[in-house]
Amino acid sequence: MRTLTHIAAMTALLATPAAALDIQSHTTPGGIGYWLVEEPAIPMVALEITFEGGARLDPAGQEGAANYVAALLDEGAGDLDAVGFAEARDAISARFGFSAGRDSFSVSARMLSESANETAALLATALAEPRFDADPMARVRGQILSSLAEAKTNPSTLARDAWFARAFAEGHPYASPVAGSEESVEALTREALLAAHGRLLTRANVTVGVVGDVDAATASALIDTVLAGLPEGEPVPPAPVAEAPPAGVQVVELSVPQSAAIFGHAGLRRDDPDFFPAFVMNYILGGGDFSSRLMEEVREKRGLAYGVYSYLSVLDGAALHLGSVQTVNARMAESLDVIRGEWARLRDEGIDEDALERAKRYLTGAFALRFDSNAKIAGYLVFMQREDLGIDYYERRNSLVEAVTVEDVNRVAAKLLDPDALSIVVVGQPVGL
């Protein structure tokens, strides 16, 4: 008890804001708006570029095109073949990452500040002039097909894919995995990839964040260099809005000792006035690692799983409240009963002031922990711009958490949580389901 008193005294200090982050808003001479944080401590620059659209722009029958393009952007561009490109990148010690998400296509670059100009020039060719040569196309297609084949026996991947396939009507872009299917990837031609590239990477859909050892004039020049070769394009249309996922349990048979489950139902959009109460509510339910109710009941009290989580997933066309658990086949039914029970308990009984205070202390205190690298800060600059949260959001964010009341959480829990509406997919050989 002595320890707890001591700790309670310490927490009074905690309402400190997150680290001061001097976020600047600029527009390049070429007309690209971006946010910048100057951080001279390490001689490097992190550049984060996101294009709206991503895999949801893949046409029917061409699922996986965006993912395939992402895997090929560093496999030859301009005058350089795949090996030439890798040598040029290594010669300036730059690091590039390209990835397709459900709603966006992301480019992450890290560069030494001394070779930033050369890095920008090389990245520009990757974005604007990818070659899609036959050899790397065949090799990368083989890698994608191999991972798709493997995913068919990975219970957690399979559960996630099956959940989305069940939750979204056939033809909705979220119904298929970002990487597509073996059939769709087999069918993707060079022409299809060129078309996807033209569709995905356009200046009208770009958001940029820069963090590091760089000033605004230099950052502007770097961005203009990187994006110079891209077409203006049109803003992508909004994602089709989906119906609520169907309730009930679907079992996918797989010969493994431990089943994997994904469960979820409708959540809230980020611009919903109840989003922050829902965010705090989910922390208490299943978002807070060892402090969450799901972890307490499923893992700590019963030893049913190594981990159990829930989270709010906000896609452009769907707001979801999702969760996952992996439990030995014989006890999966018990795990799901416990989870449904916690869903109902929070809906029916709500929370008390103490639980809210602990949640707020974690959520406000841990906010600063997210920003311990230039790369993470750059990612957050892009997130804030894409969600249109305002340049002062970083400073306001903790006060939005602080403003949540017990009544808010209980009202949102009663509205949002519905154990009977949970759509559940279990992969494995669960007993009694």
Site for other proteins in 381-420 (CB under 8 A): none
Q: Exposure pattern of 237-254 as b/e (b: 16+ CB <10 Å)? A: eebeebeebeeeebbbeb
Cβ at position 109, least distance to other proteins in Å: 12
- Tell me the site size for other proteins, rule CB under 8 A: 88
SS (H, E, C) 321-384: EEEEEEEEHHHHHHHHHHHHHHHHHHHHHCCCHHHHHHHHHHHHHHHHHHHCCHHHHHHHHHHH
Among 33, 60, 61, 83, binds other proteins (CB under 8 A): 83
Residue 216 binds other proteins (CB under 8 A): no
Cβ at position 169, least distance to other proteins in Å: 28
Of the candidate spans 192-200, 240-248, 341-349, 355-363, the one that interacts with other proteins by CB under 8 A turns out to be 355-363
Cβ at position 286, least distance to other proteins in Å: 14
Write out the binding residues for other proteins, residues 155-214 only, by CB under 8 A. 155
Cα–Cα distance for residue pair 350/404, rounded to 1 Å = 14
Among 68, 275, 276, 362, binds other proteins (CB under 8 A): 362
Q: Closer to other proteins at the Cβ: 112 or 219?
A: 112
Write out the binding residues for other proteins, residues 105-124 only, by CB under 8 A. 110, 112, 114-115, 117-118, 121-122
Write out the binding residues for other proteins, residues 136-155 only, by CB under 8 A. 138-139, 142-143, 145-147, 149-150, 152-155
> In this structure, are residues 155 and 325 in contact, taking their beta carbons and an 8 Å threshold?
no
Among 306, 337, 341, 399, binds other proteins (CB under 8 A): 306
Among 26, 203, 340, 361, binds other proteins (CB under 8 A): 361
Among 16, 25, 27, 189, binds other proteins (CB under 8 A): 16
Residue 301 binds other proteins (CB under 8 A): yes
Helix or strand holding residue 309 (H, E): strand 308-315
Write out the binding residues for other proteins, residues 317-346 only, by CB under 8 A. 326-328
Cβ at position 140, least distance to other proteins in Å: 8
Write out the binding residues for other proteins, residues 31-50 only, by CB under 8 A. 39, 41-44, 46
Q: What φ, ψ does residue 330 adopt, rounded to 5°?
A: -65, -25
Write out the binding residues for other proteins, residues 236-295 only, by CB under 8 A. 254-258, 260, 288-291
Beta bridge partners of 46: 110, 211
> In this structure, are residues 363 and 292 in contact, taking their beta carbons and an 8 Å threshold?
no
Q: Closer to other proteins at the Cβ: 236 or 363?
A: 363
Helix or strand holding residue 248 (H, E): strand 248-253
Among 82, 185, 284, 422, binds other proteins (CB under 8 A): 82
Cβ at position 34, least distance to other proteins in Å: 20
Please report the sign of the dihedral spanned by the C-alpha atoms of residue 109, residue 115, residue 120, residue 126: negative
Q: Taking Cα atoms as reference points, which of 104, 124, 106 lies closest to residue 116?
A: 124
Long-range interactions of 169-175: CB distance < 8 A, separation 24+: 169/242, 169/243, 171/60, 172/240, 172/242, 172/317, 173/55, 173/56, 173/57, 173/58, 173/102, 173/239, 173/240, 173/317, 174/56, 174/102, 174/239, 174/242, 174/315, 174/317, 174/318
Which tokens go with 214? Answer: 């760089």
Q: What φ, ψ does residue 49 adopt, rounded to 5°?
A: -125, 130
Residue 88 binds other proteins (CB under 8 A): yes
Among 31, 60, 91, 403, binds other proteins (CB under 8 A): 91
Q: Closer to other proteins at the Cβ: 99 or 373?
A: 373
Among 66, 226, 305, 318, binds other proteins (CB under 8 A): 305
Cα–Cα distance for residue pair 129/147, rounded to 1 Å = 27
> In this structure, are residues 74 and 132 in contact, taking their beta carbons and an 8 Å threshold?
no
Among 95, 203, 270, 411, binds other proteins (CB under 8 A): 95
Among 30, 60, 61, 90, binds other proteins (CB under 8 A): 90
> In this structure, are residues 42 and 34 in contact, taking their beta carbons and an 8 Å threshold?
no
